[in-house]
Amino acid sequence: MDRFVIISGCSGGGKSTLLEELGRRGFSVIEEPGRRIVAAELAGDGTALPWGDIEAFLHKAIELALADLARAQALPGRVFFDRGLLDAASGLEEISGKPVLRAYAEKWRFNPIVFLTPPWPEIYRQDEERQHGLQAAIGEYERLLRDYPALGYQVVELPKISVAERADFVLAALARDRP
């Protein structure tokens, strides 16, 4: 759906902060499935963690992303997703070797523009929920930079500017794309 917009890219590149800004501006936003899963797994006895059982983690991320999409259908206007279904499917295909990405991409279409946050070492931080290093994050970014165009999406890399300017940039790019 054209009104469903993906904000993806390098871990620690400012996606969640950008989504917070878009939410403050009145847009519907869907939080990153991975962060929610990690928080839930750490709060309990879960093992579906990116640094533990990555395949179980990605299956949970796909399941949560599908639930997010069902919920987003009822939201009005443009909906911004912090990562989501195609990121998780891309990761699962990468680690399992099973061709799952295209099937999800054919069933669920998003706005033709996908915004990617580039690696930004100056703001990258590891924490309890993001335990991988910058090099792993860059590898993930490169995979997404390959996979989204292969699925027919136009990738727009977000500039390294203030959060408010990034939000303005995203909204201007989406406005220019309207016929």
Tens digits of residue pLDDT in 37-55: 888 888 888 888 777 888 8
Position 135 scores a pLDDT of 63
Residue 103 has pLDDT above 70, yes or no: yes
Measuring CA to CA, how many Å separate 73 from each of 28, 35, 76, 79, 98?
11, 22, 8, 9, 28
Mean of all residue pLDDT scores within the chain: 87
Position 130 scores a pLDDT of 47
Position 127 scores a pLDDT of 52
Tens digits of residue pLDDT in 143-170: 899 999 999 999 999 999 999 999 999 9
Strands (E), the chain: 4-9, 28-30, 79-82, 113-117, 154-157
Position 72 scores a pLDDT of 96
Domain count, the chain: 1
Residue 137 has pLDDT above 80, yes or no: no
Residue with tokens 């999406």: 153
Residue 72: what are its φ and ψ, rounded to 5°? -65, -25
Q: Could you list the residue range(s) of the whole structural domain that residue 63 is in? A: 4-177
CB 50 within 8 A of CB 34: yes
CB 20 within 8 A of CB 127: no
Q: What is the CATH number of the domain that holds 73?
A: 3.40.50.300
Which two three-digit tokens encode residue 179? 């016929």
What pTM, to 2 d.p., does this model score? 0.88
Tens digits of residue pLDDT in 106-125: 999 999 999 998 875 555 45
